[in-house]
Amino acid sequence: MKAIFILALLLSPFFHTVLALFLRKGLSRSYLKKPNNLVPVSVVVAVRNEAAHIKRCLISLDQLDYPAHLLEIFIINDRSTDETHQIISDFIRKKPHFFYLVNQNKNSQLSGKANAVSAAIEKSHGEVIFITDADCEVPKTWIKEMIPYFQNEVGIAAGFTRLAHTNGLLSNLQSLDWACLLTVAAGSIGLGVPLTSLGNNLAIRRQVYQAVGGYQGVGFSVAEDFALLQAVAKITNWKIIAPVCSENIVSSMPVNNLWAFFKQRKRWAIGGRTVHWFGKLLIVTSFFTQTSILLLLLLGNFLIAAAALLITLAGDLILLFPILKKANRLNDLLLLPVYKIFSFFYMAILSIILLINPTVEWKGEKYFR
């Protein structure tokens, strides 16, 4: 009976690796590019109390390598109470392709970011809308690299975001966590099952945004980027792609403590409750795989536990290596065994937090949905 139980525990690591191989196939999918496909573009950045980061973001946007007459950059200040307003005002002076909006209106039907981004998009005119966050730095080639992927049938291009390395183990673990989440997202899109994307590296055709009614039509979500992607996948026939190359990778900042980390992951978890069944399968498999390894250790089957861990790590390496190579983050793989322990405990703790208190907090605002 014990042997059967141990064999059952080994099934999750094997299945985990099989799923990793499927996702790796999705990652290897190539997307057609249309050369010299220069169209009018609008970049939108919603800002709320980002005095510490916004200037880096503005500098990177100002250095974008794209024809000035085809580019407009909208910065929308969503009720900031710090020095954000002054920093933006000083920076965009005498920069005619920058447009500064101040949003003072809170919309109970939309989250803060969705409301701000929606207001900016209404003022913009670009054929393709690029969205990023105030704590991000975009590469010079961001738009020039992404625009050629907008073939006639492509509606959304979801890019990859890496975390900037700061001092401390938590920063490095977050970097690997983001890599895992976004690699799964890109792989699933390549398989034709779009699960999610992050709204700090997203490009959407205006026609597609309007087809789903914009954020107003999508409705309230604490993960507005996920909700927008899901609406496009369910309502329209437009294609969603996830091209990953070093020229379109955006850099973001990690949160600086565990409490902020859990608040961020809690928001993502609640916002993604309606994720496709394939996404739920991936989450459950990951959790049970790590639980199986822990149980094998507790039962004293150290060699079998080591074998299960190696099987799991092999799948992770196969999946993550090509993405982390493009993102220049191969050193993160050294932390993979530590990350497996970290992710097991944070998923378990997060599950308890969600049961006790489903309230979401973002930028000082609380949402009870």
| In the chain, where the domains are located | 2-26+274-353, 31-271
Residues 159 and 279: their CA atoms lie apart, in Å, by 19
Residues 228 and 111: their CA atoms lie apart, in Å, by 13
pLDDT band per the 50, 70, 90 thresholds, residue 162: very high
Average pLDDT score, the chain? 89
The percentage of residues in the chain with a pLDDT greater than 70, rounded to a whole number, is 94
Closest residue by Cα to residue 90 from 58, 65, 61: 58
pLDDT band per the 50, 70, 90 thresholds, residue 1: low
Query: What's the confidence (pLDDT) of residue 365?
Result: 64
Q: What is the pLDDT of residues 127-158, one digit of tens each?
A: 999 999 999 999 999 999 999 999 889 999 99
Query: What's the confidence (pLDDT) of residue 60?
Result: 97
Average pLDDT over residues 302-306: 86
Query: What's the confidence (pLDDT) of residue 46?
Result: 94
Q: What is the pLDDT of residues 63-93, one digit of tens each?
A: 999 999 999 999 999 889 999 999 999 999 9
Regarding the domain delimited by 31-271, which CATH topology (the fold level of the hierarchy) does it fall under? Spore Coat Polysaccharide Biosynthesis Protein SpsA; Chain A (3.90.550)
Average pLDDT over residues 210-238: 87
Backbone torsions φ then ψ of 211, nearest 5 degrees: -65, -30
Query: What's the confidence (pLDDT) of residue 349?
Result: 85
Query: What's the confidence (pLDDT) of residue 164?
Result: 84
User: How many C-beta atoms lie closer than 10 Å to residue 53's C-beta?
Assistant: 19
| Tokens encoding 47 | 């800002």
